[in-house]
């Protein structure tokens, strides 16, 4: 799937397509935007970030993520997405 390929290209993370869970999709003027979630145990040293697409990566708790959003320390589109489906992500984590 495209999501599996993009995850591998941008982060170096290998997954099975069947492990992806669609949590949100929307049709914009010029494209579809599908958002998936996957659970996989990895460390920062496992990441191979694609310089053209990814600036930085780090692991944060849900509480830290809320604080980063409130202080605008995250890309605005990510803050907007968190507002839309953050509750789905939290529920996914609780059900693991």
In the predicted model, residues of the chain with pLDDT beneath 70 are none
- C-alpha triplet 14, 27, 93: angle, nearest 5°: 45
According to the model, what pLDDT value does residue 96 have? Answer: 82
According to the model, what pLDDT value does residue 70 have? Answer: 94
pTM of the predicted protein model: 0.80
Q: Which residue has the tokens 């830290």?
A: 64
Angle between helices 76-94 and 62-70 (to 10 degrees): 160
Q: For 18-41, what is each residue's pLDDT tens digit?
A: 999 999 998 999 999 899 999 999
58-65 contact pairs (CB < 8 A, 24+): 62/90, 62/93
According to the model, what pLDDT value does residue 22 have? Answer: 93
């Amino acid at each position: 799937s495209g999501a599996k390929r993009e995850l591998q290209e941008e982060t170096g993370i290998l997954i099975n397509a069947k492990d992806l869970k669609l949590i949100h999709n929307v049709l914009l003027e010029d494209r579809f935007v599908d958002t998936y979630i996957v659970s996989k145990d990895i460390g920062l040293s496992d990441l191979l970030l694609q310089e053209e697409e990814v600036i930085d990566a780090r692991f944060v708790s849900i509480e830290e993520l809320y604080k980063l959003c409130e202080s605008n320390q995250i890309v605005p589109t990510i803050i907007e997405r968190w507002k839309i489906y953050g509750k789905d992500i939290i529920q996914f984590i609780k059900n693991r």
